[in-house]
Amino acid sequence: MLINLCRKWIEEWFSCKKFCITDEDRDFLKEFKLLIFNERVKSRIENNLAQLKEKIKNHTEKITFAFALYLISWNIRRFETYFERNTDFSFEKFFDSLNEVFKNENFLNNVEELRKLHLFKNEVKDELVADIYKNLEEKIKQIVSTQNEPIATIKIMHIIAPYYIPLLDNPIAKALKRERLCDFFNFIPLSGNFGKNLEKLKNGKLKRYEMKKIIQDMCDELKSVKLDIEAFLKYIKWIKNKFSKFKEVIYKIEKNKQKSFLKLLDQAFYIRYSIDIGRRLN
């Protein structure tokens, strides 16, 4: 329901630069809740969500509010990090600031061109994809003061152009590299902190919570894959080359399911690589 609603709002916005909130949409917003994992910021996020839902109803002229709930829901752990790092962070400020990039005429023209494309009907336009990617990521980095934001950037590009831009996250990239299905994803080199943490574990005499934190930090480093525009463009072309021979079947699936093949592929990758075996069997 959520992704269909956000796509409806996006289509309406690109049609008349405003999306429409129906009574059914209002009922959905009233009942909508987030699955929050971090108890330390849970109450702040819940309060922020309530404010955001009101903002969405009253500011339908801003496209970022059309996809806000989608982006938060599918990137909730990242947003939890934003809240934990910055006591002044809010959903409202984030999406208000992000909306500024869509006011740029050249950027918006590029986005509208991107929306007309289909991955299996059109060639991969490197410059167009890279320009949109870099502008979006730079704005997000500016808002949240981080060094890279590939996942949020890719998710926004996908919801705007679901038939041309595939989804991608770290677990999928790591699994594709581990299984040698592609060779363009690289693990991020281990930092000096990894060696220091290893020495701390060897020396022992750590309290349980200290050991848990060190092990978590080391695991985070080991599982990190470098995602940037160069790797993402290669991933798009890899999908196109891998599945183009099935394009007639893909068109039929998309027509019957009313979903992009790229979204269905992401769901398959998610089940294969992001869910543990117990949850898959259940």
pLDDT band at 237 (very low <50, low <70, confident <90, very high): very high
CA pseudo-torsion sign 69, 3, 263, 130 = negative
Q: What is the largest CA-CA distance in the chain?
A: 64
Give the separation between CA 42 and CA 21, rounded to whole angstroms. 27
**What kind and span of H or E run contains 186?**
strand 186-187
Residues with Cβ < 8 Å from 38, sequence gap 6 or more? 77, 80, 83, 84
Q: Any idea what DSSP says for residue 86?
A: -
Distance set, CA 220 to CA 170, 190, 225 (Å): 11, 10, 10
Task: Give the mean pLDDT of 155-182.
Answer: 91
Mean pLDDT of the chain: 90
Give the separation between CA 47 and CA 34, rounded to whole angstroms. 11
Task: Give the mean pLDDT of 142-150.
Answer: 93
Which pLDDT score, from 0 to 100, does residue 232 have? 96
For residue 12, the SS3 value is helix
pTM for the model = 0.86
- Each domain of the chain, given as residue ranges in start order, spans 2-166+228-238, 175-222
